[in-house]
Amino acid sequence: MNMKDINLLYKDTIEKNFEGNMESSKRMWEYLENSTAKYKGRTIYALYMPKLFTDEDVEYLRDKIETMYRILIKVINEYFEKEDYRELFGFDKELEELILNRPSYSCLLPICRLDIFYNEEDRSFKFCEFNADGSSSMNEDRELNIAIKLTQVYKDLSDKFEFSSFELFDSWAKTFLEIYNTSENPKEKPYIAITDFLEKGCSIEEFAQFKLAFEKAGCKAEICEIRDFKFDGENLISPTGHKVDAIYRRAVTTDIFTHKSEIQPFLEAVKKRKVVLIGDFCTQIIHNKILFYILHLDRTKAFLTEDEIAYIDAHVPKTVKLSDEFIEKLDVLTAKDKWIIKPEDSYGAKGVYAGIHFSDEEWAELIRKHKDDSYILQEFIMPYASYNIDFKKKNPEFKKYSNLTGIYLYGGKMAGFYSRQSVKEIISTAHDENDIASTVIRKKQG
């Protein structure tokens, strides 16, 4: 069975005992309300059905996503080695200097989540965005996979099917320490700081799970507000007074540069290589959306293999800079439904506009406002839609939702999935995003 068929089987099983499933959805929600599945202090909003992956789809996506990772590593290395390639990205001098302060460890992209629009029927896909150090939502998936076990449909199908999920915490601690051990003069048991701008309140519960994972691996760890570090010239000191050996950075580069005057101790320690930063600033090369444009340039294809070029053509949406040259050449104003515009450096779908959502006049104004303003123009990809149900609605019924699949890579190896659905075509917290569990399903033997 392909993914479409197995998800339809799950839907049909719910419909056969609709009242029982409606009742069990209350247990699911009660669990989530009392769990650590929080975003900015509020319980995440989830739909009833998980996203079910077959073993075949998992292995197919593993091969495809690890191919993209190898291409990204080539891009990072080319950036390091060739000045003309660096110029294509247009980073300011201060950021470029931080990027070129190459980490001493061997893995240039320790953690990332590559988001794709995946067609569950023919396995075609296109990339949506690349996330590096700020990759998140591992805890949401962990809690959702616990919650779905409380549902009637899960009970009804468990006699014939096995369900499993991806472990995303201990596996990251293991990978983190393996990468750290390739750095200069590693400690046997480093003191680890998990750091971000904590007032955002997005991931505190998730950070606590990572802290536990590091402690299970035999290390002491601390969740640190990035503003509260101290630096004595030799040692980066945590808010509680501990010397920090390694940092798991969750603060995205955009926020760091917005608040750089407030985090000078952190930046000085990193610049002077007095702490191991995982991931380092070279990850910004893949996080910035201008990369989608650069990947299609002949300059990039010059250091890729024929197979890698074909991969880019098949899976990376056509992307150009939002400028008069391309607006006219591509008929952007008269064919608005074919296009979406995005800031080069953002996250959480901030400032993202799809032509299908606007009138001709509104679209023309958005183009005028954002052209030559560090925006990209990208081919619009209609997400694959599949059925789900929201039992919190007054009269719940099955409807189709757009899908976005995030794929985590730890140290270049696929680690798991993060699935989201929306009634809209842009899938984010700002546009009616709903979390769902990512679950692998297989028939029981015999």
Q: How would you write the pLDDT of the chain (446 residues) with one tens digit per residue?
A: 889 999 999 999 999 999 999 999 999 999 999 999 998 889 999 999 999 999 999 999 999 999 999 999 999 999 999 999 999 999 999 999 999 999 999 999 999 999 999 999 999 999 999 999 999 999 999 999 999 999 999 999 999 999 999 999 999 999 999 999 999 999 999 999 999 999 876 789 999 999 999 999 999 999 999 999 999 999 999 999 999 999 999 999 999 999 999 999 999 999 999 999 999 999 999 999 999 999 999 999 999 999 999 999 999 999 998 988 888 888 899 899 999 999 887 655 567 899 998 999 999 999 999 987 788 999 999 999 999 999 999 999 999 999 999 999 999 999 999 999 999 877 655 557 899 999 999 999 87
Tokens of 161: 């099917």
Residues 231-285 pLDDT 10s = 999 999 999 999 999 999 999 999 999 999 999 999 999 999 999 999 999 999 9
CATH class of domain segment(s) 318-380? alpha beta
Domain extent listing, the chain: 3-65+102-287+401-443, 318-380
Residues 360-390 pLDDT 10s = 999 999 999 998 778 899 999 999 999 999 9
Strands 276-278 and 319-321: unpaired
Shared fold status for 3-65+102-287+401-443 and 318-380: no
Q: What is the CA radius of gyration of the chain?
A: 22
pLDDT score of 201: 62
Angle between helices 138-147 and 18-33 (to 10 degrees): 140
Instruction: Collect all residues with Cβ–Cβ distance below 8 Å to 189 and sequence separation of at least 6.
Output: 218, 219, 220
Q: Among 216, 62, 209, 81, which residue's Cα sits nearest to residue 143? A: 209
pLDDT score of 348: 55
- CA angle in degrees (0–180, nearest 5) for 91-376-82: 35
Tokens of 382: 């209609």
First to last CA, the chain: 17
AA identity, residue 272:
K
pLDDT score of 425: 76
Asked if residue 250 lies in contact with residue 207, where contact means CB atoms within 8 angstroms, the answer is yes
pLDDT score of 347: 59
Instruction: Collect all residues with Cβ–Cβ distance below 8 Å to 257 and sequence separation of at least 6.
Output: 94, 95
23: left (phi over 0), alpha (psi -120 to 50) or beta: alpha
Asked if residue 237 lies in contact with residue 243, where contact means CB atoms within 8 angstroms, the answer is yes
Asked if residue 288 lies in contact with residue 344, where contact means CB atoms within 8 angstroms, the answer is yes
Kindly report the backbone phi and psi dihedral angles of residue 19, in degrees, each rounded to the nearest multiple of 5, phi listed first. Answer: -65, -40
Residues 180-189 pLDDT 10s = 999 999 999 9
| Greatest Cα-to-Cα distance within the chain, rounded to the nearest angstrom | 67
Q: How far apart are CA 161 and CA 149, in angstroms?
A: 13
CATH class of domain segment(s) 3-65+102-287+401-443? alpha beta
